[in-house]
Amino acid sequence: MSTYVPSGKEISRKWYVVDANGQTLGRLATKAASVLSGKRNPRYTPFLDMGDHVIVINAEKVRLTGLKDQKKMYRRYTGFPGGLREESFTRLMNRRPEKVLEEAIKGMLPKTKLGRSMGMKLKVYRGDKHPHGAQMPVELK
């Protein structure tokens, strides 16, 4: 008896829509990350990208609990000396609410080539419209 390993040809990917309206950022991110990584799939294999596509709509309506909306900071480094850039959560939400959700979800994926391929299946949109109607996405409960 040998161990079953699925090949890339037999992986069928589904499309899911998640409405972020009124949801907590972390709880929404964990749900989306588990779908992207394929852990909900009964044929889950840790070294293969078995995940499905996730579309997140209403990104500007996501919320944080407690005082995190006032204290949370996003940092990035430009690569130059003294190039640490900081931006608060409220300012980033006003400017690019999609970026907040992308960073939260992609931060929960592996930091490898496999994780980057999982992250490419994530689509985040401001508002309730998205251009993926032809893929017939199903709402994720």
- In a domain, residue 7? The reply is no
Share of the chain above pLDDT 90, in %: 87
- In a domain, residue 73? The reply is yes
- In a domain, residue 69? The reply is yes
What pLDDT does residue 108 have?
97
- In a domain, residue 62? The reply is yes
Domain that holds residue 134: 12-139
- In a domain, residue 6? The reply is no
Domain CATH code at residue 25: 3.90.1180.10
Q: Please provide the distance, in angstroms rounded to a whole number, between the alpha carbons at the two ends of the chain.
A: 38
Q: Indicate yes or no: pTM above 0.95.
A: no
- In a domain, residue 5? The reply is no
HEC string of 26-67 equals HHHHHHHHHHHHCCCCCCCCCCCCCCCEEEEECHHHCECCCC
The count of domains in the chain is: 1
- In a domain, residue 3? The reply is no
pLDDT in tens, 2-59: 888 888 788 889 999 999 999 999 999 999 999 999 999 888 889 999 999 999 999 9
Using CA atoms, how far apart are residues 68 and 64, in angstroms rounded to an integer? 6
Using CA atoms, how far apart are residues 25 and 30, in angstroms rounded to an integer? 9
- In a domain, residue 4? The reply is no
Mean pLDDT of the chain: 95
